[in-house]
Amino acid sequence: MSAGNYDVVIVGAGIVGAALAVALRDSGLQLALVEPNPPEAPATDWDARIYAISPGSAAFLQSLGVWQELDRQRIQPVYGMEITGDSGAQLNFDAYREGLPELAWIMESSRIARGLWAALQKQPNLTIHAAGTAQLSWSAAASHLVLDDGAVLTAQLLVGADGQQSWVREQAGIASRRETYQQFGVVANFVAQQAHRGIARQWFRDDGVLAWLPLPEQHISMVWSTDATHAQALLAADALDLADEVARAGGAKPGALRQTGGAAAFALSLNRVESLVGPRLALVGDAAHGVHPLAGQGVNLGLRDAQSLAQVLIARGAANCGELALLRRYERARKGDIATLQSVTDGLHHLFRNRQPWVAKLRNVGMDMANHVSPLKSLLIRQALG
C-alpha cells in the first residue's frame, strides 16, 4: 500500500478542480489531484456541453497560461444579447455601447478541460492519482484519503471538486438542500442559414427558457430548459423535426437550422450547501453549489471559487493551509456571490413559471423598463462580467 503526504489534495479534475490546481503551481505547496477519468482529446464535432465564459473567468484562465493556448477557431465572442419575454418584452445588451470588446466567449467544455489538463502535466509540485476514492477520514492534524488502488493520501487540506453528487461532501457530513425544478436542459448544436453576428439570444416562453449561443462559422448551441414531457419529445424528434421546432421557437432567427450531432438532456436543480468549509476541508464548484443555467453562470461561479481559494492559500502566511480560521476567509469571500446568483436565477425561474396574468404583465413591463434604463443595464452587465 503506497502512501503520500501533501499540503493539499484535490478530489476531482473537472474544470474547477483543475483550475485550482494550476492556480497553486507557484504556491510552494505540494499538491495531489485525484481523478480516475482524465479528459479525452476533443473531437472534431462540436461538444454538446457549451459554456459562456465571462471576461473575469477568461482573465483568470489567462493568468494560468491556459487561455492563450486554446484554439481560437473554436471560440466565439459574444457581442450582443437579446432577451425576449413571454409577452414580447425586450432586454438587449450591446458590448459596443457599453464600451466593451465583448460580453463573453462561447466555447466547448472539452477544450477548456484539455487545456487545463495540458497545463497540469507540466506542474512540478503536483502528483496526479488516476484512481477512485474509497475511504475518507479526518484527524486533528490531517485529512486521510484512501484510494481504490490502495494508496493512502494524507493532507493538511482536502478539497472537494467532485461535482453535484459530491462524495467528499457526503463523507464530511455537510448537508445540502436540493430543489428540483422538474425541468431538463435539452442541448443540441445547429448550423444557421444566416450569420448570427455574435449575438446570444434567449426567450422566456410558456414551455420554458430557450437559449441560442453563437459558435464560430454560423454554428449555434441550443439550451432549452423545459418540462420532462417536452424534453422527451425534443430528444425523440429526428434531426429535421428538431431543427424546425427550434427555428420556429426562435422566430426563424437567424434563418433555417441544420442539426449537427445528437441531442442530450440533464436535470435542472438548485442546490444550497450548508457550509463551504470544515476542519481541513473546502468545497468548490458544483460540490459547493448548484444554480439554474438560465444565466449561463454556473462554470464562472465555480472558477471564482477556485480563484478565491487559491488566493487565500497563497496569502496564508505562516498558517497551516487546513486551519478552519483560514478556510473561513474563503467561505466569507464566496458566500455572497453564490447566494446572489442562486437567488437571482431561482427568482427568475419562478417568476416566469407563474401563469397569473398580472404577474406576466408585471414581469414584461419590468423587462421593458430595464431595457430603457441605461445605468441599470450597465449594472447588470458588470455583474455578469465577473
* Residue-wise pLDDT tens digits, 172-193: 999 999 988 889 999 999 999 9
Q: Which three cell numbers stand for residue 48?
A: 454538446
- Which tens digits make up the pLDDT trace of 231-246? 999 999 999 999 999 9
Residue where the block lists cell 444554480: 291
Q: Judge contact between 278 and 158, C-beta under 8 A.
A: no
Which residues make Cβ contacts (< 8 Å) with residue 26, sequence separation at least 6? Answer: none
The two counts, helices (H) then strands (E), for the chain are 10, 19
pLDDT over 70 (residue 313): yes
Mean pLDDT, residues 101-125 = 95
> Within its chain, how far is the Cα of 289 from the centroid?
10
Where do the DSSP E strands lie in the chain? 3-11, 31-34, 50-53, 76-78, 80-84, 90-94, 104-108, 126-129, 133-138, 143-147, 152-160, 176-192, 199-205, 208-214, 219-227, 257-273, 277-278, 281-283, 289-290
CA neighbor of 71 nearest in space, from 41, 96, 102: 41
Going by pLDDT thresholds of 50, 70 and 90, the confidence category of residue 40 is: confident
Which residues make Cβ contacts (< 8 Å) with residue 131, sequence separation at least 6? Answer: 34, 36, 147, 148, 149, 151
- Which tens digits make up the pLDDT trace of 261-301? 999 999 998 899 999 999 999 999 999 999 877 666 889 99
Distance CA(173)–CA(167), nearest Å, equals: 10
The β-bridge relationship of strands 176-192 and 104-108 is: unpaired
Q: Judge contact between 273 and 283, C-beta under 8 A.
A: yes
**Other beta carbons within 10 Å of 213:** 25
Q: Which architecture, in CATH terms, is 67-107+181-269+354-385?
A: 2-Layer Sandwich (3.30)
Q: Is 11 helix (H, G, I), strand (E, B) or coil?
A: strand
Residues 123, 124, 129, 133: what is their CA dihedral angle, to the nearest 10 degrees? -80
Q: Which three cell numbers stand for residue 211?
A: 437559449
pLDDT value of position 274: 96
pLDDT value of position 385: 54
Q: Where are the domains of the chain?
A: 3-47+110-178+270-349, 67-107+181-269+354-385
CA neighbor of 278 nearest in space, from 140, 163, 177, 149: 140
Residues facing residue 205 across a β-bridge:
208
Return the HEC string of 205-223. Answer: ECCEEEEEEECCCCEEEEE
Residues facing residue 91 across a β-bridge:
83
What do you get for the CA distance between the two ends of the chain, in Å?
Answer: 44
Q: Give, in order, the Cα–Cα distances in Å from 371 to each of 200, 316, 361, 366.
A: 16, 44, 15, 9
Going by pLDDT thresholds of 50, 70 and 90, the confidence category of residue 1 is: very low
Q: What is the pTM of this model?
A: 0.92
CATH number for the 3-47+110-178+270-349 domain, one of 3.50.50.60, 1.10.1740.10, 3.20.20.10, 3.40.50.1980?
Answer: 3.50.50.60
- Please give the share of the chain, as a percent, with pLDDT higher than 90: 70
Going by pLDDT thresholds of 50, 70 and 90, the confidence category of residue 350 is: low
